[in-house]
Structure 1
Amino acid sequence: MAHEVRLPQWSMGMQDGQITRWLKAPGDPVADGEVIAEVESSKVASDLLADREGVFLCALVAVGDVVPVRTPLCLIGAPGERVDASSPAIAQGAAPVPPATPRPAPSTSSAAQVTPRARKLAVENNINLAQLRGSGPGGRIVEHDIEALIGQPRDETYSLTQRRGRIAERLLASLHGSAQLTLSREIDVTDLAVRRAALPFRAGWGDLIGYSVSRVLARHAPFNGTVEGDRVRASAIVNLGFAVALTDGLVTPVIHDAGSKSLRELAEMAAALVMRARSGTLRARDVDGGTFTLSNLGGHGIDAFTPIINPPQIAILGLGRVRELAQRDGTGIAWRQCMTVSLTFDHRVADGVPAAVFLQDLAQFVARPGNFEPA
């Protein structure tokens, strides 16, 4: 039976996307992980990747159409298979549409894979891509490769409506669609910093706090889940999303069932997802199903900020930088390493006291380095 490829929710607040180009026509073979379309969403231009091998049967959405996330975009089936009218997408009223004739990328070899932003820069700067091997996986040409060829800084002019306008639209929708409240507190990470330095693998502060959140959230169900219309779905597992900044936007990969992962596994999975995000190779399963999100600006020197909820989730945690603070220690003063964490949550779902208790439990978990086993 034909398989539906749906529009993923790549970025925070993304609610819809626009098909800008189909790269496959009916009958074309499709490889698992191959780019089959280009999509523009609220915060990033992305490649739509096939999530299985087969044959492109038909497009269900025309170029230029704006559709909600998780909408079926096309059907992939077996060689010789025909479009079945009983397919769920067809049954729900999605009619096959003839994809626009794929436009060849300018001076690009047929074997080369090029991200949308890289292709756009190549056209603007008359760069021949035929002999260029990119720095992305499998020689994929990414934006950085084109910028390196340009070699000189230049002014940029762009439409606010096209780029930041849709981002502002989604942020306002998040704020207007929920009663957002933010609580902040300091957590002492002095002992955890020592534990982190002794780990036999690399783990960032985002990994350590993400690991902590995935354990603590199990005792604070109201903050782990989504709001769907007038109903709240409290999730039994933690699907931990985390914001990754790109040159032209923001995406939120998801570590599914993070509470079952060891610290090492979580750190390695996060690193792999960041790499895929920056190379433009995230798949639908890499961004779907988040129940709680982390946003980390500590690496940029920020102490505290007010993160905005990633709809339809209930809460998001912002992480500030680790800094030294003087604290009373008996009759003297001791310097402690501290981090400010800021929890933004939907006040319709939970009140301030449960949110404060969650942050208190998180601080207590972090203060016990024995909770962070490396295995």
Structure 2
Amino acid sequence: MIKEFRLPDLGEGLTESEILSWKVDVGDTVSLNQVIAEVETAKAVVELPSPFAGVIKELHEQPGSVVEVGKPIVSFEVADDAGGSPAEAAGLSEGLGGQPVETPKREPNLVGYGAVVEGSGRPVRRPRNFAQGQAAPVVQPAGGAAAEAAPVEAVPAETSPVETKATETKATETKPAERPRSTPPVRKLAKDLGLDLVQVPGTGPGGLITREDVLEFSGHAVEPATHVQGSASSGGPTAGERETRTPIKGVRKHTAAAMVQSAFTAPHATEFLTVDVTPSLELLAKLKDSRTFAGVKLTPLTLAAKALLIAVRRNPALNSRWDEENQEIVTFNYVNLGIAAATPRGLTVPNIKDADALPLPQLAQALTALAETARAGKTTPADLSGGTISITNIGVFGIDAGTPILNPGEAAILGLGAVRTMPWEYRGEVALRQVLTLSLSFDHRLVDGEQGSRFLADIGAILAEPGMVLTMV
């Protein structure tokens, strides 16, 4: 029999992914969980395992295609009895008293995709909570495209026509409107345009309201998709072209949305501190000769990260989050340290989980592994989620200072400038010293100027004189 595999959500709540490459071809025999493709979400490159054992019958999408979640991407030819006992293959299971009852067959699925009833091609998810006396929606397998598009109706069980009519009238009067499905950037756009999303028809998967839906409903022009101009082989412009257009997708699209959300949601404040870090660099040289750090890569970022982790203990407001929905400030008692990484796919901010619990050698190793994984494009969605505070090292590009933009959901981000040899006041005289500038941006809703200043001063004090740690812990 033929089985279709639809693009899953991958557990990230994303609406689309790009097919980067196929690891199989039509006619190939594959085993269960064999990697069949690489797809790029808005956050990471993910290897897609096969949900079936069988033969590849058809590849529905080509590399480079951006596919909406829920659309078929590959078809398999599998054995009729694959995936269960004869009874299960026949759609029967044991009911009360041992009598066989018919049950819907479920296809294999990935995390976040949900169990799929055969024939529907759509996840069966737990219904939302309903008011007392209100029936939950009845989920029915779809019989085709028209059935998939049909709305699901909520009907009370075992009522007379009169009772049904009365109940429907009451439900119409009292039932609160369910919030339309959309993403945060789309809701922000609708709010900026003064639109009520309840009135906007959604054309995305499962009725999802897209940016294009909002723009079209508001009367704004929707720009048509533009093909990339330039050489298909080199990726660069061809002779005579005056401009190159590149579709906004993948990491670049996600980064842009995140930065706009951050810049227009959190009131940023930025402070700068220039520090003589000569003692820190001398300490690094000593540590590299130490047996404890043999084979461990040590950089100024290593010490800056450790200094930040120590300073967070003394200034916990910098390691918090603004919960708008519940009107609460969430202060984290752990630190998932994000490190901004420039990769071939664009800017990503993977984080080291529970970095505050790591001794310096393990922290250095974690930083090295994080950078290598990011450069190789193997950062997972889990590595990119759950950060609590971040560092961006602009010094590697020869930049002295900047104004970092907060990673959405975080209270602070520390920027490290380039270490430069400069004339500096030292013990009452002018001497050549190793100097760098720290840039700290923070969410002024969560962090007062005093708290931000003390935090930055603590980091500077540690880097200027590492022995100051003894007075802080």
TM-score tier (shorter): 0.5 to 0.7
Q: Using the alignment, how far apart are the partners of 1:361 and 1:56 within structure 2?
A: 55
- % identity of equivalent residues: 28
Give the number of the structure whose alpha-carbon radius of gyration is greater: 2
Structure 1: unaligned runs, 5 residues or longer: 9-15, 58-62, 68-78, 99-119, 126-146
Please state if 1:273 is matched with 2:370. Answer: yes
Aligned to 2:318: 223
Residues 1:266 and 1:154: Cα distance change in structure 2 (over 3 Å): farther
Partner of 1:353: 450
Picking from 284, 287, 299, the partner of 1:204 is 299
User: Match for 1:158 among 245, 260, 265?
Assistant: 245
Deviation digits for residues 197-240 of structure 1 (CA, Å, limit 9, x no counterpart) = 12233212222211211121112111113223243221101100
Query: Which segment drifts farther, 337-346 or 322-331?
Result: 322-331
User: Aligned letter for 2:16?
Assistant: Q
In the TM superposition, 1:94-109 aligns within 5 A as none
**Is the 8 Å Cα contact of residues 186 and 338 (structure 1) preserved in structure 2?**
yes
What's the CA shift string for 1:133-154, capped at 9, x where partnerless?
Answer: xxxxxxxxxxxxxx7xx9x997
* Alpha-carbon separation, structure 2, partners of 1:66 and 1:343: 38
RMSD: 4.2
Higher relative contact order (CA closer than 8 Å, sequence separation 6+): 1
Matched, 1:19 2:24: no
Change (3 A) 1:167 1:280: closer
Match in the other structure for 1:246 = 343
- Paired residues, number: 295
> Hey, what's the Cα distance between the residues in 1 that align with 2:371 and 2:405?
21
Distance 1:279 1:329 in 2: 43
Post-superposition offset of 1:55: 4.4
Distance 2:36 2:462 in 1: 42
Closer, same or farther: CA 93–286 of 1 in aligned 2, 3 Å: same
More strand by share: 1
Residue of structure 1 aligned with 2:412, choices 311, 315, 328: 315
1:190 counterpart = 2:188: no
Change beyond 3 A, Cα 1:86–1:298? closer
Is residue 64 from structure 1 mapped to residue 52 from structure 2 by the alignment? Answer: no
Q: State the TM-score, normalized to the length of structure 2.
A: 0.53
* Aligned residue among 376, 399, 402 for 1:302: 399
2:280 matches 1:282: no
Per the TM alignment, residue 245 of structure 1 is displaced from its structure 2 partner at its CA by 0.3
Instruction: Please give the alpha-carbon distance, in whole angstroms, between the structure 2 residues aligned to 1:159 and 1:5.
Output: 26
Residue 33 of structure 2 corresponds to 30
CA contact (8 A) 2:39 2:46 kept: yes
In 2, Cα distance between equivalents of 1:232 and 1:65 = 35
Counterpart amino acid of 1:194?
A: E
- Verify: 1:174 aligned to 2:262, yes or no: yes
Aligned 8 A contact 1:227 1:312 in 2: yes
CA distance in 2, matches of 1:298, 1:261: 24
What SS does structure 2 have at the residue aligned with 1:183?
A: strand
CA-to-aligned-CA distance 1:232-269 (integer Å, 9 cap, x gap): 22110110000110123111111111111122211111
TM-aligned CA distance change 1:86 to 1:207, over 3 Å: closer
Contact 2:336 2:355 in 1 (8 A): yes
- TM-score, normalised to structure 1, is 0.66
Which position in structure 1 is the counterpart of 2:40?
Answer: 39
Mapped contact 2:255–2:347 kept (Cα < 8 A): no
Given the alignment, which residue of 223, 232, 246 partners 1:124?
232
Aligned pair in 2 of structure 1 residues 167, 256: CA closer, same or farther (>3 Å)? closer
Q: Which residue pairs with 2:308 in the alignment?
A: 213
1:91 aligns with 2:91: no
Q: C-alpha distance in 2, partners of 1:231/1:255?
A: 25
Q: 2:298 aligns to what SS in structure 1?
A: coil
The alignment partner of 2:414 has SS state of strand
- Choose the corresponding residue for 1:48, options 46, 49, 73: 46
Change (3 A) 1:370 1:54: farther
| Cα 1:360–1:303 shift into 2, 3 Å | same
Quick one: structure 1 residues 49 and 223, their matched pair in 2 at CA, closer, same or farther if it must change by over 3 Å? Answer: farther
Q: Deviations over 1:26-78 (max 9, x none)?
A: x96225xx57551342xx7x42246xx89469xxxxx73379xxxxxxxxxxx
Bigger Cα displacement from structure 2, 225-234 vs 183-192: 225-234
Contact 2:237/2:244 (8 A) holds in 1: no
Q: Secondary structure at the match of 1:241?
A: strand
When residues 343 and 66 of structure 1 are mapped into structure 2, their CA distance, relative to the original with a 3 A threshold, is: farther
For 1:351, the aligned partner's letter is D
Q: Does 1:6 align with 2:11?
A: yes
- Tell me the SS of whatever aligns to 2:445: coil
**Contact map agreement 1:292 1:314 (CA 8 A) in 2:** yes
Contact 1:297 1:320 in 2 (8 A): yes
Deviation at 1:86? 8.8
Residues 183 and 54 (structure 1), Cα distance of their counterparts in 2 relative to 1, 3 Å cut? same
The 1-side partners of 2:10 and 2:253 are apart by 27
1:165-212 Cα deviation digits (max 9, x unpaired): 664443222110110110111122111101111223321222221121
